Structure 1
Amino acid sequence: MSNYGKYGLVALNAVNKLNSMKEIAPSNAWDEAAAFVFPTQLSSRKKGCPRSSFLGLCEEGKVKGVKSGNYTSSKANKAYANDAAELLKNSPKLTTKELWGKVISNAEPKAHNSQMNVVAALFHEGHLIA
């Protein structure tokens, strides 16, 4: 599991919370999972890119057990995550670096900010809807 990085771990913990506590909102599940993974690193808990990627997947109904809804105002990170999820369906062996290169291929070069760790963790652990 460590090959998903800490934000992949946050995503997996958030999904587990969502599936065990039906009344919790995806944003609250992420926040609680981030607090567990990053107990003393407030800036890591608040990092927006991986959080918005997770919420973007939830918003589109792509996370098993999570109803689609209105969870994030992020357009870019939501798009990156949903594009990466589609790419993984056809090419499951893509690394996070390769995924990032493909989802931003037509955009200005940007630094990867853990968005792909979130998508890869959810995909490889079977939490994304095919």
Structure 2
Amino acid sequence: MNNYGKSAIRAVELIQSGEVPYTEDAWKKATTEFFTIKTKACPRSAFLGLCEAGLIKDVHQIHIKQPLKNTINKDHAIEAVQLLTENEDYASYKSLQLWRIIMLGNQKSHNFQMDVVLALWNNGMISPAKTYIMA
């Protein structure tokens, strides 16, 4: 698991413990534990998007300080959860493999969004029974 996956898990732990009340602040704090450089925006958007969609266990709307504007990374993360819910075999895929399935042949670069999704999924932090419809 890479540092973006570890950051996502840590951010959820910070929220669930009550140590940090908001998802954005939890992400910032968690990433400073694993990175000494500025982090990418794509994994952040994937994480915040999953939280906002209500797909993370014990993370609720009261934990959202400011909603994300619609981002493609949020949509990709939600789509990945839908795929995992339909076929749990995807949980054993590497992040790049899952990314390629979501991209349907589009050569768009992977920027660690699926590392966030897979880390949360494989650590039981995603509520797969929840259905989310993308706008």
Common topology (TM > 0.5):
yes
Does 1:62 pair with 2:62?
no
Q: Which runs of 5+ in 1 are unaligned?
A: none
Q: Which residue of 2 aligns with 1:53?
A: 46
Q: Deviations over 1:78-110 (max 9, x none)?
A: 00000001111233232212210121116x421
Correspondence 1:5 to 2:2: yes
Rate the CA distance shift 1:23–1:33 in 2: closer, same or farther, 3 A: closer
CA deviation after TM superposition for structure 1 residue 71, in Å: 3.1
- How is 1:1-130 mapped onto 2 (pairs within 5 angstroms)? 4-21=1-18, 24-38=21-35, 40-41=36-37, 43-44=38-39, 47-68=40-61, 69=64, 70-94=66-90, 95=93, 96-105=95-104, 108-130=106-128
More deviation in 55-64 or 69-78?
A: 69-78
TM-score, length of structure 1 as denominator length: 0.86
Q: CA deviation at 1:23?
A: 5.6
Identity over aligned residues, as a percent? 35
CA contact (8 A) 1:50 1:114 kept: yes
CA distance in 2, matches of 1:92, 1:37: 28
Q: What amino acid is aligned across from residue 112 of structure 2 in structure 1?
A: S
- Say whether the 8 Å CA contact 1:58–1:71 is kept in structure 2: no
User: What CA RMSD, in Å, does the superposition of the two structures yield over aligned residues?
Assistant: 1.6
Uncovered stretches (5+) of structure 2, i.e. residues with no partner: 129-135
Aligned AA (2:89): K
Q: How many residues align?
A: 122
